[in-house]
Amino acid sequence: MPSISENIALLEKGLKQETKLIAVTKTKPVEALLEAYSAGSKRFGENKVQEMVSKQEVLPKDIEWHMIGHLQTNKVKYIATFVTLVHSVDSIKLLKEINKEAIKNNRTIDCLLQMYIAREETKFGLSEEEAIEILNSSELGSLENIKIVGLMGMASNTDNNEIIRSEFQGLKGLFESFKKYESAHIEMKELSMGMSGDYEIAMEEGSTLIRVGSAIFGSR
Ligand SMILES: *Cc1c(COP(=O)(O)O)cnc(C)c1O
């Protein structure tokens, strides 16, 4: 079986120029993260606040931490000191809380709106209408310490590549059309799409951030 560093080298080699790799480290022990770090990986994705915090505390400080899982408002404070990008924003309420904690820490926190693009039922993600409501919201202008820098989405869990591709194309279409809402707090520049099973399709369809776990660290 290829090692973590071999997997990362292979992935990095295949990246498009505009695409960055986020190593999804959820459930993996600190030793595995250190091996990835030694292989040059400096962007880690976690989906649970507590796990992200405990790993962040013991690992090198030049690592970027990406929150890719559902984030509850009452837990924002634990990651607001260090988180690089929150991929999973799905309400104005959460944006307000991130802004509040960002102010306390005297920083600006970048966020992505998580869009619901899959055909299957999942709990999380915004519809186009809901996202527009947030982008158009008069409250957004007063949230000085957050910035919406793009969109995140997950395709259906299927081996039908045509379905996956059309879902990614749909997300890319929204990403482009939302550029008309750009303002001091909105800039559509990051498109977080693609996981171990579908990152190649995602890159072909314009992804700028791929979130890859099991193809690096093995199955969970
Ligand atoms: C777990 C997870 C990933 C990585 O999944 P793999 O199939 O292991 O690459 C990507 N994005 C999100 C939101 C996840 O929760």
Confidence bin at 98 (pLDDT 50/70/90) = very high
Span from the CA of 119 to the centroid of ligand 1 (angstroms): 18
Task: Name the domain count of the chain.
Answer: 1
Report which DSSP code applies to 180: G
Q: Which residues pair with 19 in a beta bridge?
A: none
Cα separation, 48 vs 11, whole angstroms = 25
DSSP state of 123: S
- pLDDT tier at 148 (50, 70, 90 boundaries)? very high
Q: Ligand 1 test: best mutation among 68, 113, 157, 220, most atoms within 8 Å of CB?
A: 68
The residue contributing the CA closest to ligand 1 atom 4 is: 213
DSSP 89: E
Angle between helices 30-38 and 49-58 (to 10 degrees): 60
pLDDT at 123 over 70: no
d(CA 60, CA 42): 9
For ligand 1, pick from 11, 28, 47 the residue to mutate: most ligand atoms within 8 Å of CB.
47
Nearest residue CA, atom 6 of ligand 1? 213
Ligand 1 atom index nearest CA of 24: 4
Res 82: pLDDT: 98
196 lines ligand 1 (CB under 6 A): yes
Q: What are phi and psi of 187, to 5 degrees?
A: -145, 115
Per-residue model confidence (pLDDT) at position 94: 98
Confidence (pLDDT) at 1: 80
Of 82, 58, 41, 23, whose CA–CA distance to 213 is shortest? 23
Q: Which atom of ligand 1 is nearest to the CA of 199?
A: 9
pTM, two decimal places: 0.97
Q: Yes or no: say if 83 and 65 are a contact pair by the CB < 8 Å rule.
A: yes
Confidence of residue 141 (pLDDT cuts 50, 70, 90): very high
CB atoms within 10 A of CB 60: 10
Task: Report how far residue 218's alpha carbon sits from residue 177's, in angstroms, rounded to the nearest whole number.
Answer: 37
Q: For residues 182 and 188, is the Cβ–Cβ distance under 8 A?
A: yes
Structure tokens at 176: 């482009």
pLDDT in tens, 41-82: 999 999 999 999 999 999 999 999 999 999 999 999 999 999
Tokens of residue 134, six digits: 């947030």
Q: Is the CB of 153 under 6 A from ligand 1?
A: no
pLDDT band at residue 158 using 50, 70 and 90 as cut-offs: very high
The parent domain of residue 110 ranges over 4-217
CATH classification of the domain holding 177: 3.20.20.10
Q: Which atom of ligand 1 is nearest to the CA of 87?
A: 13
Concatenating the DSSP letter of every residue in 15-65 gives --TT-EEEEE-TT--HHHHHHHHHTT--EEEES-HHHHHHHHHHS-TT-EE
User: Pick from 216, 193, 213: which is nearest to 203 by CA?
Assistant: 193
Tell me which residue has tokens 């796990």.
51
Q: Work out the average pLDDT over 3-26.
A: 97
